[in-house]
Structure 1
């Protein structure tokens, strides 16, 4: 299974970053406006996310942990049809009012990983700009 990990330092307090991420339905548009053009509910724990390039993903909420500032979700349909998918986003305080944002995406087949990684890179650049800062690359 391919695992794609991205980390950035964001010039915003963890509470502000978590407020956007933890909003499962509206969060994608709040985090990356323009990169994500729409996010709407599709059942009690599922959302449909539309991206500027026309990609549409149906994603299911797996876990929402307010104490750990961690959200986990899985792609369960749409334009991308992995045989397995699980992703998590977590906010970690990084001193001086900044946040470290960790995004991990596990996917099968492995061939999907490069495209997912490129989309994550693009989304993170927009996300960092949304919070008034530039990302410091993690890993």
Structure 2
């Protein structure tokens, strides 16, 4: 069901937001490819669409990444992690106290097709997944 919802969401993506779409697809595919990870999709049309990477083995905090598509024109991405699960050596993220399901989060905004930003965020996903897998 989640897969069909995400596919429908991507298929109906407005043409004015192609950079965000490409980034979303790349991050979605990355999380899909992680063993023992599952995806949840939460749609709030007009506000955001949230793709959540879940590691069910981590009972206390199964979420390891949340990719939010902010429903503006053009759409942009906010990719958030628990602050203690990732590093930010280039200081590209924003600390959001209590901003990730009530806990401190570290969020990265992607609003253009910049491969270096996307690669940086993808490395944070790998970090967060590793932290979730050993917790």
| More strand as a share of residues | 1
Q: Name which structure has the greater RCO, CA cutoff 8 Å, separation 6+.
A: 1
The structure richer in helix per residue is 2
Interval of TM-score (by shorter of Structure 1 and Structure 2): 0.3 to 0.5
Using the size of structure 2 for normalisation, the TM-score is 0.36
